[in-house]
Amino acid sequence: RKEVEQDPGPFNVPEGATVAFNCTYSNSASQSFFWYRQDCRKEPKLLMSVYSSGNEDGRFTAQLNRASQYISLLIRDSKLSDSATYLCVVTFWGGYNKLIFGAGTRLAVHP
Amino acid sequence: DAGITQSPRHKVTETGTPVTLRCHQTENHRYMYWYRQDPGHGLRLIHYSYGVKDTDKGEVSDGYSVSRSKTEDFLLTLESATSSQTSVYFCAISDQGQGSQPQHFGDGTRLSIL
């Protein structure tokens, strides 16, 4: 079983739609959680951290459920520019800042 | 954007040749990392560094070595390149080693081993 699992998609949605991605992780000792965004043939870029109480950044809302070991990302009012792959990242201290990446969920927003 | 430069950006080489990739940062961050990214896999850590001359293995270190002689430079060497090492390689940096800190990535190096 992979340490971090994501639905690879693609999720094809029209502009203005609301879309949600989930991610599950296996290590209960995981400390921190992030969503990264990766455009085609580009480097991953930090989208947002995920806090236990849930957090929002504009149209993006992240939730964490430690008991069930899953993380979610909700995108409201999708834009064409949101088309990308979204990487779920889980960290824990394994002698170093160990980041475990999911393989990513691809989102395609169409007009 | 974080000041991270990877070189070369693209490289094609033959099986059995040594290859060195360079990561240069201008952020004075202590921690540096090398990852590879392959289809269907998340980024996987090859090696990391927690200071000058301080390096350690990640989860896919076989066939790779690293060196860090200066804070700003972290080199990844494929000692004898194989086709299975064809991949996209990313360098990352972070200010702290604790798990609460995100990492910032360079633009990547696309490496093809023929």
More confident residue, A10 or A29: A10
| Residues from chain B contacting residue A52 (CB–CB below 8 Å) | none
Q: Which of B43, B48, B106 sits opposite A96 (nearest CB)?
A: B48
> What does the alpha-carbon distance between residue A60 and residue A46 come to, in Å, rounded to a whole number?
13
Condensed to tens digits (0 to 9), the pLDDT of residues B77-100 reads: 999 999 999 999 999 998 876 556
| Residue of B60, B100, B109, B111 for testing the chain A interface, max A β-carbons within 10 Å | B100
Percent of chain A residues past pLDDT 70, beyond the cut: 95
Tokens of residue A108, six digits: 């395609």
Task: Find the chain B residues whose C-beta atoms sit closer than 8 A to any C-beta of A.
Answer: 31, 40-45, 48, 50, 56, 90, 94, 96-108
Mean pLDDT of A42-71: 93
Mean pLDDT of A81-99: 85
Q: Within 13 Å and on the Cβ side, how many CA atoms surround B81?
A: 20
Mean pLDDT of A79-105: 88
> What does the alpha-carbon distance between residue B78 and residue B47 come to, in Å, rounded to a whole number?
12
Q: Which of B43, B99, B108 sits opposite A31 (nearest CB)?
A: B99
Mean pLDDT of A79-97: 87
Residue B83, SS3? helix
Mean pLDDT of B2-26: 95
> What does the alpha-carbon distance between residue B7 and residue B110 come to, in Å, rounded to a whole number?
10
pLDDT at residue A3, rounded to an integer: 87
> What does the alpha-carbon distance between residue B31 and residue B38 come to, in Å, rounded to a whole number?
23
Residue B60 has pLDDT above 70, yes or no: yes
Mean pLDDT of B2-22: 95
pLDDT tier, B42 (very low <50, low <70, confident <90, very high otherwise): confident
The answer to whether the Cα torsion of B18, B19, B24, B28 is positive or negative is: negative
pLDDT at residue B59, rounded to an integer: 87
pLDDT tier, B34 (very low <50, low <70, confident <90, very high otherwise): very high
> B35, B62, B63, B29: which is closest to B48 by C-alpha?
B35
pLDDT at residue B99, rounded to an integer: 59
> What does the alpha-carbon distance between residue A102 and residue A3 come to, in Å, rounded to a whole number?
8
Residue B41 CA: distances (Å) to CA of A24, A100, B18, B86, B93: 15, 11, 25, 14, 21
Going by DSSP bridges, is the β-strand pair A105-110/A11-14 parallel, antiparallel, or unpaired? Answer: parallel
pLDDT tier, A52 (very low <50, low <70, confident <90, very high otherwise): confident
More confident residue, B39 or B46: B46
pLDDT at residue A27, rounded to an integer: 83
Residue B1 has pLDDT above 70, yes or no: no
